[in-house]
Structure 1
Amino acid sequence: MEDLIRPIYQERASHRNTLGILMIEKKFNNSAITDTFDVVLLVIAKETDCPVFIKHYTSKEQKAALYIVDEQKLNEWLLFGSNRKVIDWVLNGKVLFDRNEYTQRLRSRMLEFPAEARQLKMGVEFAKLIRRYTDGKVFLETNQLLDAYNHVVHALHHLARLAIIEQGFYPEVTVWSQVKQIDAQIYKLYEELVGSEEPLDKRLELLFLASEFLIHSRIPSGSAHLLKVLKQKEGAWSIGEIASHPELEAYSVDLVIMLEYLVDKHLLAIEEVPTKGQNVFHRYYVALNHS
């Protein structure tokens, strides 16, 4: 395998825009971490023609994968958790090349998990949690039990990730192993959902009730980032202003459901601004100050 990967990483290391190269080898007890490949090379580049470039190689019945990822895409994955394997790769991969200690500094930043990045990540997870919980509850009320089950599983997953982030850690691929050590209550809920012999409708009713309490208890941490941004100016915000704010782009399609949830919980107020139409108003949002 070394004969296969050496020329690959040596070539990439010679490129001026290569910031770091990591090698991740297949684990006997978890081949999924490398998508069953014997080895993965992760090349982090300053700038690339496309955000992600992939090549596959084979030699003597062994297979290798090369990922060239630009720095912006990598940071997006780390922020949104949209490619959780990469978190494991960056934290645990063997460093083959490290320009100006870029990889070491990246790892240190991830392990320290600065408060500002952690607050944003909690906000994004909380918004996804609200989306899954709200949609799942509608499915339960309309007796669409399998769809409700699917949504509550995802809601618990986001709740688990939120609990992990609150403790200052990045959620990894094995989220439930992490949360078992951090928040036994969430882990127990998940066990009850997937392992209970109760009828599915009864399980779901109990899970939604329990989840509602746990979600409510995380409103302060989950809403802190969004409310901080909305308090940057006095007065009300239109939905257009909120959606286009660069610090809130990460909330994406879950932004509106998050806003409505915070209105319902009296953390945001609605201000009606007259339009040219009679009895028609623009709906503006105001962050409330709570002592």
Structure 2
Amino acid sequence: MEDILRPIYQERASHPNTLGIVIVEKKGSKSPLTDTFDTILFIIVKEADVPLFIKHYTYEENKAAMHIVSERQMKEWLLLGSNRKVTEWLLTGKIVFDRNEYIEKMRTELRDFPFYGRKIKMGIEFAKLIRRYMDGKGFFESRHFLDAYNHVVHSLHHLARLTVIENGFHPEVTVWNQVKQIEPEIFKLYEELVNSEETLEKRLELLFLASEFLIHSRIQVGSGHLLDVLSQKEAWTIQDLQLHEELQYYSVDLTVMIEFLIDKHVISTKSVETKGKGIYHRYYSVKKV
């Protein structure tokens, strides 16, 4: 189908705003990589009125999708891991246009996976892991087992992604296949949760016990980025932290992560008097060893 799409992408390549164009072909009838489309035309532009513009095409028995994405949106996806297919498109797709080797340079960066970029991604995944784990535990203690199960499955998924990133890889669409090779213990935990013949309550009970240890063992890597930010000042208000450029990516999970790290004696709090009697401002800092 590439020949059919050539006039479309050649027109886009002539725009000075276009940074690179990649074509991704479907790898199999069941592959999730292309969202069931035969071909994906992935176009990165410097700036755009909307962060993502999509068009669908058909030709004979085939269908194709064109995705035009702004550079800013693409970088956000790569940082947050919120659109995992994009990483695979960039790494495995066929480059048909590459202004100043933009995509080649990005591929090199993705393969090298700089440590600081990994640190931010690990922090974001750890925050999501803590949120899901705490919510799941709350539902379990309230005996809402199906809701607890839903959150636990998500928490294991974030734990799996955190483990993959920790080992220097990008989480793929088939993340459990990666985890099976990298850390079989987590894969086995997931299998037992899904396939065990024990009652749901018993499965969840055993999983919370195992998860407690696995989460505790990853506090250092998971909190590294947040602690780096905290160490930049003596003390922070929650508003200061929420407004920090990099911590904004943690979104609503930041507060839960901070409270978890306070409970684990990683972050300390300081009370500062307000004008109101008996009311104090709460400040946060790295706990001094």
Deviations 1:38-75 (A, max 9, x none): 10000011111111000011111211100000111001
Aligned to 2:247: 248
Match of 2:259 in 1: 260
SS at match of 2:56: strand
* 1:46-61 matched pairs, under 5 angstroms: 46-61=46-61
Query: What is the CA distance between 1:17 and its match in structure 2?
Result: 1.2
Question: How many pairs are equivalent?
Answer: 289
What is the match of residue 239 of structure 1?
238
Tell me the distance in 2 between the aligned counterparts of 1:170 and 1:75: 14
1:103 matches 2:99? no
Q: Which secondary structure does the structure 2 equivalent of 1:237 belong to?
A: coil
Q: Does 1:128 align with 2:128?
A: yes
What is residue 225 of structure 2 aligned with on the other side?
225
Contact 1:31 1:37 in 2 (8 A): no
8 Å CA contact retained: 2:127, 2:253: yes
Between the aligned partners of 1:214 and 1:90, the Cα distance in structure 2 is 32
Cα distance in 2 for residues equivalent to 1:211 and 1:185 = 11
Matched, 1:73 2:73: yes
1:155 matched residue in structure 2: 155
Identity rate, percent: 63
Tell me, in whole angstroms, the C-alpha distance in 2 between the residues paired with 1:125 and 1:132: 11
Check whether the contact 2:41–2:67 (CA below 8 A) recurs between aligned residues.
yes
Q: What's the TM-score, normalizing by structure 1?
A: 0.97
**In structure 2, C-alpha distance between the alignment counterparts of 1:111 and 1:84, rounded to whole Å:** 15
Moved over 4 A (4+): none
User: Within 1, Cα distance between the matches of 2:75 and 2:62?
Assistant: 30
Tell whether the 8 Å contact from 2:119 to 2:225 is kept in structure 1 after alignment: yes
- Find the aligned partners of 1:77 and 1:30 in 2 and give their Cα distance: 24
Equivalent-residue separation in structure 1 for 2:267 and 2:251 (angstroms): 19
Instruction: Answer with 1-10 or 60-69: which moved more.
Output: 1-10
Give the letter for the 2:218 counterpart. R
- The one-character-per-residue Cα deviations of 1:129-166 (angstroms, maximum 9, x if unpaired) are 00000000000001111110000000000000000000
Return the offset for 1:4: 2.3
Could you tell me which residue of structure 2 aligns to residue 275 of structure 1? 274
User: What pairs up with 1:150-189 in 2 under 5 angstroms?
Assistant: 150-189=150-189
1:164-220 per-residue CA deviation (whole Å, 9 max, x = no partner) reads 000111101000011111011100000001011111000000011101100000000
Letter in 2 for 1:288: K
For residues 35 and 267 of structure 1, the distance between their equivalents in structure 2, rounded to whole angstroms, comes to: 42
Gaps of 5+ in 2: none
- The match for 2:30 is 30
Residues 21 and 98, structure 1, Cα contact 8 Å, conserved in 2: yes
Task: Give TM-score, length-normalised by structure 2.
Answer: 0.98
Matching residue of 2:288: 289
Structure 1 stretches lacking a partner, 5+ long: none
Query: Which residue identity is paired with 2:211?
Result: S
Measured in 2, the distance between the counterparts of 1:121 and 1:3 equals 38
Deviations 1:221-273 (A, max 9, x none): 00000001100122x21111111111211111100001101100111111111
C-alpha displacement of 1:29: 4.9
